[in-house]
Amino acid sequence: MHLEWFDRVCGELQDSLNSICEKYDENGRMLIERGAKHPRIDFFTDNEKDDRDYFCSLFFDPHNEEFYIQTVDPEYGHISKVLLEDIEDIIDAVHQCFHEYMEDEDAISEVEIIDDGTDFEGLDEVEDELLLEEIDVEWETPEVTAYYKENEVEVSYQFGITEDTGEGVIKRINRSWTNDEELVKDETIIKFSKEEASTLIAMIASHMDSISGIDEYMQ
């Protein structure tokens, strides 16, 4: 595995986060898991029960030599993979996750005081469930471009099969450019069985005439 970039970021990350955020310096901790197929850095705080509250996991893809974090759509359960291009993007992402976590903790503390000690331990379990494990996929196709508009947006898809369960996987990659010509990349992964695949194909095929093109709804 090519881990030079991963090791360099690990070496700089803790000091960089401490220097830009006093609260992180006091509370934030990081744990490096180098032996995984996609090495990761877990970020956490120590709570009053001597347990760890994890607030962010930063993954590294050694094949493509890129860092990413995963987010979960709370309504549909879709996993989005957000790529982080450089050390500044990585620091900003972890810093933002930390402050969102701290704000949630402050809000929970206020409710506990108002409700005279109501138990919110179940919230930690929900958060842990949302930290989905990395999906190992054998990609069967390269990225296939479905739509491209120069200097504005590019949408592509890739098909693969999970190594553990044999489920199908569709990865949607959305690249867009801001007014400052900055590239923003977002990835969404959907898993499905053979039975689901045939149903999806039939549903889409029977409603193709009703679907708008990208140019139509972007106007």
How would you write the pLDDT of the chain (219 residues) with one tens digit per residue? 568 888 888 888 877 877 777 777 777 888 888 877 888 888 888 776 667 788 888 999 888 888 998 877 666 556 778 899 888 889 888 888 888 888 876 554 554 444 544 444 444 443 433 333 456 788 889 888 988 888 788 899 999 998 888 889 888 888 888 777 778 888 888 888 888 888 888 888 887 777 777 666 555
> Cα separations (Å) of 156 from 102, 123, 153, 161, 188?
36, 36, 10, 17, 11
Local structure of 156: helix, strand or coil: strand
Query: Where on the phi/psi map is residue 138: left (φ > 0), alpha (ψ -120 to 50), or beta?
Result: beta
Local structure of 141: helix, strand or coil: coil
Rounded to two decimals, what is the model's pTM?
Answer: 0.49
Taking the C-alpha atoms of residue 171 and residue 187, their distance in angstroms, rounded to an integer, is 7
Q: Are 185 and 175 in contact (CB under 8 A)?
A: yes
